[in-house]
Structure 1
Amino acid sequence: MTDNAIDIKAIMADILEAESKAVASIPYTSDFDKAVSLIVDHVKQRGGKLVTSGMGKAGQIAMNIATTFCSTGIPAVNLHPSEAQHGDLGVLQPDDVMLLVSNSGRTREIVELLSLADELYPGIPSIVITGNAQSELASRADATLFTGGVPEVCPLGLTPTTSTTLMTVIGDILVVNVMKATGFTKAEYAKRHHGGYLGHKSRQ
């Protein structure tokens, strides 16, 4: 190993340990129960949909959460916060519920989106996934899902790494709990997923 070489195995072990501890330390609060209830009530009972949004890496996670919810019986769309200011806000309907993803809890485009949504439909409920429980978004949300705010494993402490892992896991927590709350079945999954290996498996 040269002086400039890196020990990938050791770095990998450190990352796995750090991120595993971070996931295991996601703090439970009653807001998780409230978030699940909001989704079930607005989508299943009122006929609305889940509208997710985030900027940058968080936006990619928001999109993934939306597509996962779609395949598990919860109609969902992802709304780009910038495009929302140029007409896409029209996708919102009165009985929808919003799921906003922002590690800092103060992403300008998401804060503005929340204000625009409330102007269009005052009182539209919002769920926020964030690493900053004291942020503006957290204070305005109906349910705040706190990641724990642990440092990134990025050696610069800048690149979204641990934070994106935690946001993804919280998305999974929501999906699984909503599936259980609604009694979503394998047969219902098959109706929504026709192609590929999963479509075949769901119909066996």
Structure 2
Amino acid sequence: MTPVQQIMEQILRQESQAILNIPVSDAYDRAVGLIHKHVHQLGGKLVTSGMGKAGQIAMNIATTFSSTGTPAVNLHPSEAQHGDLGVLQSNDVMLLISNSGKTNEIIELVHLAHNLYPQLPLIVITGNPDSELGRLANVTLSTGGAPEVCPLGLTPTTSTTMMTVIGDVLVVNLMTLIGFDRRQYALRHHGGYLGTVSRGTGILPNADEHN
């Protein structure tokens, strides 16, 4: 086995174990309930945010939610300080991601958001649930705090994998709760391979059938 393959096996073992060690708790029930209430009952939206690599995960989670029937947008925490905070509405719910739970830009975003809408609920994904951000949250989802597989122990690697998995848990549960089906999926995916596959089941009429 080559050195590359050895490192690969080590990474696969470590990240697989980290996923299995994500704490399963009723915090997920509460998080799913909050998103469902504010988006599907009150007509708000999910607003995700994170800084750096966590911000990229937050954006991916937002787009995945939007494509599966739960309207969501991503708000860059720095741009929020320069007017983008205006995207927030009173019925929204926020999903904030910070591995340390101490990211200055995210902490500032919380205060700015609450200055605008004091009752705005916060769901936090973090590796440090006892952090300031964890204490500010209505619901805290812990990644389990597994060490990064980066040889320096610094580069977001394992942590971003955990964030992505937790996002998947939330998305799939919301899809199940709202009864999101292939027809609804196809209505949101006109182009690309997924659009072709979702429309290829015969659940949507062809354009010429409307003529």
Class of the TM-score when normalised by the shorter of the 2 chains: over 0.9
CA distance in 2, matches of 1:113, 1:133: 18
- TM-superposed CA distance for 1:177, in Å, is 0.4
What letter is aligned with 1:189?
A: Y
* Match of residue 153, structure 2, among 152, 157, 170: 157
Two-structure CA RMSD over aligned residues (Å): 1.0
Deviation >4 Å, runs of 4+: none
Residue 41 of structure 1: aligned partner: 37
1:90-105 equivalences in 2 (<5 Å)? 90-105=86-101
- TM-superposed CA distance for 1:29, in Å, is 1.4
CA distance in 1, matches of 2:192, 2:54: 27
* Match of residue 128, structure 1, among 115, 124, 127: 124
Q: C-alpha offsets along residues 79-127 of structure 1, whole Å, 9 cap, x if unaligned?
A: 0000000000000000000000000001000000001000100110010
Q: C-alpha offsets along residues 117-168 of structure 1, whole Å, 9 cap, x if unaligned?
A: 0010011001000000110111110110000001000000000000000000
What letter is aligned with 2:183?
A: A
In the alignment, structure 1 segments of 5+ residues that lack a partner are 1-5
* Match of residue 119, structure 1, among 112, 115, 139: 115
**Local SS of the residue matching 2:141:** strand
Residue 17 of structure 1: aligned partner: 13
TM-score, with length taken from structure 2: 0.93
Residue 133 of structure 2: aligned partner: 137
Matched, 1:84 2:69: no
Identity %: 69
In the alignment, structure 2 segments of 5+ residues that lack a partner are 202-211
Residue 64 of structure 1: aligned partner: 60
Residue 190 of structure 1: aligned partner: 186
TM-score, with length taken from structure 1: 0.97
CA distance in 2, matches of 1:15, 1:111: 31
CA distance in 1, matches of 2:174, 2:141: 15
1:160-175 equivalences in 2 (<5 Å)? 160-175=156-171
What letter is aligned with 1:126?
A: L
What letter is aligned with 1:112?
A: E
Residue 3 of structure 1: aligned partner: none
Q: C-alpha offsets along residues 183-203 of structure 1, whole Å, 9 cap, x if unaligned?
A: 111111111111111001111
Q: How many residues align?
A: 200
